Amino acid sequence: MADIILDNLRKSYGNTDVIHGINGQINDSEFVVVVGASGCGKSTLLRMLAGLETVTSGDIRIDGVRVNDLEPSQRDIAMVFQNYALYPHMTVFENMAYSLKIQGKSKAQIKDAVQRAADILEITAYLDRKPRQLSGGQRQRVAMGRAIVREPKVFLFDEPLSNLDAKLRVQMRVEIKQLQKRLGTTSVYVTHDQVEAMTLGDRLMVLNAGKVEQFGAPIDLYEQP
Ligand code: ADP
Ligand code: ADP
């Protein structure tokens, strides 16, 4: 749980401005979905939040702390990627354990945390498998598991469902929403899927060419003439 403040956030590549001074607050435990046409800056915004992309000017503050210059590992965030980004040579258990190991957690703590997350996501039967031995949906669960074991302040999702078939996408969408409500982890979720945005988002941040066009509850945005 954490609040995130975006204060006149800008990003340029050379002379090209791609994020033009975004202001906004994402509240504690809130699920914000960032939507907008391809190229409007969704990924760039998310990657700046994650620390995978530098900030050109302005500030990102998480719980009042300016994180612009912090490494990804220092931000207390966990990101779920579109391609899952699992370590292919590691088992599911090791994939989920990895970040906890880096943090210096004990073997008992790691085992406990991984097993709890695996229970929630119903992947306990696959802990000894390698990612290549899993279906797309199972890989997606492992990617979620890897994020939740860390109990981060913030989840960042980059189109995490777009590689799944339609049926599984709906199922995982429901599960992600339930999981987020249960954990109360502040979440920022990027998608170009309108239905996904409407069902998941407490609020939607609509980007247009690097600017916030609208930021509100789905019902308020879509009832406008
Ligand atoms: P979205 O995720 O909404 O599709 P992006 O954040 O990926 O949009 O991209 C926003 C804009 O920034 C696009 O015009 C894109 O071409 C440009 N862009 C993204 N990454 C780079 C880069 N590394 N160098 C130059 N331009 C980039
Ligand atoms: P090492 O420090 O030797 O590399 P590992 O990272 O392989 O250890 O495993 C850490 C701990 O988690 C060990 O105690 C190991 O027995 C346990 N462990 C590994 N895989 C599983 C699994 N699939 N289910 C339960 N516990 C496991």
pLDDT tens digit sequence for 39-59 = 999 999 999 999 999 999 999
Measured from the Cβ of residue 51, the count of other Cβ atoms closer than 10 Å reads 20
Q: Is it the case that residue 138 has pLDDT exceeding 70? A: yes
116 lines ligand 2 (CB under 6 A): no
Q: Model confidence over 88-127: pLDDT tens digits?
A: 999 999 999 999 999 999 999 999 999 999 999 999 999 9
Where are the alpha helices (H) located in the chain, listed in sequence order? 42-50, 92-102, 107-121, 136-148, 166-183, 194-200, 218-222
- Closest C-alpha to ligand 1, atom 22: 13
Question: Model pTM?
Answer: 0.89
Tell how far the Cα of 144 is from the centroid of ligand 2, in angstroms: 19
Q: Which residues line ligand 1 (CB under 6 A)?
A: 13, 18, 36, 38-44
Output Rg (C-alpha) for the chain, integer angstroms: 17
> How is residue 85 written in tokens?
């980004």
- pLDDT bucket at 213, cuts 50 / 70 / 90: very high
209 Cβ contact partners less than 8 Å away, ≥ 6 residues apart: 20, 40, 41
Secondary structure percentages of the chain, helix, strand, coil, to 5: 40, 25, 35
Instruction: Find the ligand nearest to 43 CA.
Output: 1
Q: Is the pLDDT of residue 225 over 60?
A: no
* Distance, CA of 176 to CA of 207 (rounded, Å): 23
pLDDT of residue 219: 87
Query: Cα–Cα distance between 144 and 67 in angstroms, integer?
Result: 24
- Burial pattern 173-186, b for ≥16 Cβ within 10 A else e, equals bebbbebbeebebb
Identify the band that residue 1 occupies on the pLDDT scale cut at 50, 70 and 90: confident
ipTM of this complex prediction, to 2 decimal places: 0.69
> In angstroms, rounded to a whole number, what is the distance separating the alpha carbons of residues 111 and 78?
19
What DSSP character marks residue 74? Answer: G
